[in-house]
Structure 1
């Protein structure tokens, strides 16, 4: 397999394929001076120190299968191995792809940060190897769908030309986005009680955290997917600071019975409405005209209401004094109000006093009407501008960073009807247009500067979600926020695992009553990319503390671990569990899986590798 990229996702994906699935991988990266430091991965899942050294060495590309430490096999100065090694290239040209062995590879992952680079390389690779399984990292989802259809059609035509009708071909194209993969987990982590959802062809599954009752698995609690580490009963990332006690993924019934009182990740089925689509939360229609309440401030609306009340009161008083028709009384009051020449010279004294009072109210009304006109004009003029956090806002989520990840997280939070205030230092950030469209308040400024978080109403916020691309910026923002609100729930996006471990332990020790969580985008996204390279339809991933549980749709045909077994027997504790049979609503535990069935399984990374 070939992995091409220019950031941490490429290194983590290569380590995932080598260390977990045992694949031979050629990693294509830019020269050393342009390559970011690869993450340290594989420690949590290594069975021994030797395996850990192998995974880390594979991640940084210093050891090949047939090479020595510090020198990639197949030559010096970057070089390449026959099936496993590192190839350095400033640009991903056709010659580089050929040297990496794309013509003989089973799968190619293009995970550059630039969509155009990935698309150009995918078109070239499909021509070099029509049977190649392609996995692309694209941020533009609509363009990704078109590219996926185009490349699949090209592969089908090439298969017909090369082998004639009926020739079997494993070529497929999968377009994924690390932002889309990680955003649901990040958004769910920031909000207490928010469920993590996995969708599979109309089936809607939800994973929630709750204590086990001890009545046995599936009794009022749904299906238990994982037992959280007992060191942190609040559900924070326990193994992040307690390596000696890891969470238990996919436990058997006996383990669940013995874990009464512990926190667990439980799977629930959410019924979808007619049509198979899940019910979307109610959202305000986005139109070009702002709502009436946003045109005028609350103080101005109260001023107008008081003046209208005065006009009505004056009209009633005039009707009582003069005994004229009520409509005529209202009409004369308006004439007096706007100073239209109709003096009550020969009228009774009460009528004259009311006329003077009406003229005085009219003088008060003119500046209010002018203020209303100017305010409405300003609202329309700034309808496309960024909103400021309103006064009195509370219970919201403060989101730091509106890059690729932050934009997807913002969209996810708004889909869940969660109030958000964004903080962004770059006035040209890609997420500002999304925030403007969703009418989300934004504070422009460096979060490390004093007063920026205060402008985002951090003192009354429910959670802080720091997803900028800088670890130090995220850490500095969280530390400052904790000095302001010691009980604030914080979620950090940290790149380096060792650094994240030290940060987590210190924060949990300093603030034991507050929830602190850490998420790595590459850590959440790599399993989905690896599964797609192996030909699996990975539906989603659920973060279980610092581990990941994968959901995949698998054809039963050809899997001895599934075919011919019942749903109950097709279960291996700690590896995989069959959750549902697609196309059926009455799946029972004694149903025998046969050829042609398609199931949804929850699996660990190693479990998905064994199913292969």
Structure 2
């Protein structure tokens, strides 16, 4: 973390690590048509039924054109007469011309064909609503997806984030009443209900054609067992594990990386990753956030230069300490220059009235704050 320019230049095969601001709405993607069930309009009726309706509409249009040609009149009036004949609510054309009588008989025949089409539409709509309330099964030809194991607190947020990124997901959950089941049902995400330790559960999630496995249940043994079994099915599978103990997560990461050097393996302790954020919140508003980098954490803090003797009177480049802290932004409070600046001049001298944003390691920030002078007592 926070290397100097010489260390970056001497490191072989490494690029530049930059920070990018990304927007995040913090909510699940908006549902489409029929928001309560999440059923798209194209899935409400089958393709065969849609073609039948299109053929029926073409027949009605043909009858209306034939009526215009034979009997004359406006297109609207001809269409109206055709629909009356179609639904058998028009008077019989016993005294009309022969062409009118033939068109009325054809319209009545097409009206009889309309009944099974309407009946099929009602049955398909009911079937679609019924299946929408149940969990979706993984499709047969699914590939390149992410298998998400666990739909608890962490799994639910991971599922929402993956769907925001439009990444195909297949969920595996042992508890049918888990927190994220309702979200998976609403988003129409394929879900397999079953114990991952049982044979055939990961196969049902198409693990052999998956792109990655995210094991985020609250049980370390289940996550580890699922990862080992998935690696036995596909050795090059990308795996991310949620483990409670960070030391155990480190050992698992090293073991899996040594056993499968060609695959990408990540093991993380949620409590360890969340600890700096909690510690930063306890330290006050000066801690803006915490960014996990592999197994380390980079903290961002806003500090007043007047309270930091190691910053006052020194240039932006001069206060940089490799592996400890670096000034990434500056807030000037004098006249028209007030505001937050990110494109800093390395030779700018920090003044006591300035306020800086630092990127620091936990040890570096602790050392910097420990040397802050105590306010004088009255």
Equivalence for 1:477: 226
Tell me the SS of whatever aligns to 2:19: strand
Aligned positions, number? 356
Aligned pairs for 1:445-484 within 5 A: 445-453=194-202, 456=205, 458=207, 461-482=210-231
Aligned pairs for 1:32-47 within 5 A: none
- For structure 2, the 5+ residue unaligned runs are 332-338, 370-378
Return closer, same or farther for 1:408/1:505 CA change in 2, 3 Å cut-off: same
- 1:412 equivalenced with 2:161 (yes/no): yes
Aligned pairs for 1:165-564 within 5 A: 249-268=1-20, 270=21, 278=23, 285=30, 289-290=34-35, 293=41, 296-299=44-47, 300-320=49-69, 325-340=74-89, 342=91, 355=104, 357-376=106-125, 385=133, 388=136, 391=139, 395-435=144-184, 440-453=189-202, 456=205, 458=207, 461-482=210-231, 485-497=234-246, 499-501=248-250, 503-505=252-254, 507-509=256-258, 511-535=260-284, 537-564=286-313
Return closer, same or farther for 1:440/1:557 CA change in 2, 3 Å cut-off: farther
Return closer, same or farther for 1:591/1:476 CA change in 2, 3 Å cut-off: same
Deviations 1:438-486 (A, max 9, x none): 6655443333345544554556544322111112222333344445555
Aligned pairs for 1:58-207 within 5 A: none
Asked whether the 8 Å contact 2:28–2:161 carries over to 1, the reply is no
Return the offset for 1:359. Answer: 4.1
Return the offset for 1:252. Answer: 0.4
Return the offset for 1:336. Answer: 3.9
Return closer, same or farther for 1:422/1:558 CA change in 2, 3 Å cut-off: same
Report the Cα distance in structure 1 between the residues aligned to 2:117 and 2:224, rounded to whole angstroms.
48
Select the residue among 347, 355, 377 that pairs with 1:590: 347
Asked whether the 8 Å contact 1:283–1:417 carries over to 2, the reply is no
Q: Which has the larger radius of gyration?
A: 2
Deviations 1:329-356 (A, max 9, x none): 4334323433446556677777666555
- For structure 1, the 5+ residue unaligned runs are 1-248, 273-277
Select the residue among 351, 354, 365 that pairs with 1:608: 365
* TM-score, normalization by structure 2: 0.75
Report the Cα distance in structure 1 between the residues aligned to 2:26 and 2:52, rounded to whole angstroms.
35
Asked whether the 8 Å contact 2:33–2:40 carries over to 1, the reply is no
Report the Cα distance in structure 1 between the residues aligned to 2:275 and 2:27, rounded to whole angstroms.
33
Report the Cα distance in structure 1 between the residues aligned to 2:150 and 2:276, rounded to whole angstroms.
24
Asked whether the 8 Å contact 1:568–1:589 carries over to 2, the reply is yes
Select the residue among 573, 584, 593 that pairs with 2:322: 573
Return closer, same or farther for 1:355/1:390 CA change in 2, 3 Å cut-off: farther
Asked whether the 8 Å contact 1:281–1:415 carries over to 2, the reply is no
Return closer, same or farther for 1:574/1:379 CA change in 2, 3 Å cut-off: same
Report the Cα distance in structure 2 between the residues aligned to 1:596 and 1:379, rounded to whole angstroms.
66
Report the Cα distance in structure 2 between the residues aligned to 1:572 and 1:346, rounded to whole angstroms.
103
Tell me the SS of whatever aligns to 2:345: coil
Return the offset for 1:254. Answer: 0.8
C-alpha root-mean-square deviation of aligned residues, in Å?
3.9
Return closer, same or farther for 1:307/1:527 CA change in 2, 3 Å cut-off: same
Tell me the SS of whatever aligns to 1:423: strand
Tell me the SS of whatever aligns to 1:426: coil
Asked whether the 8 Å contact 1:557–1:594 carries over to 2, the reply is yes
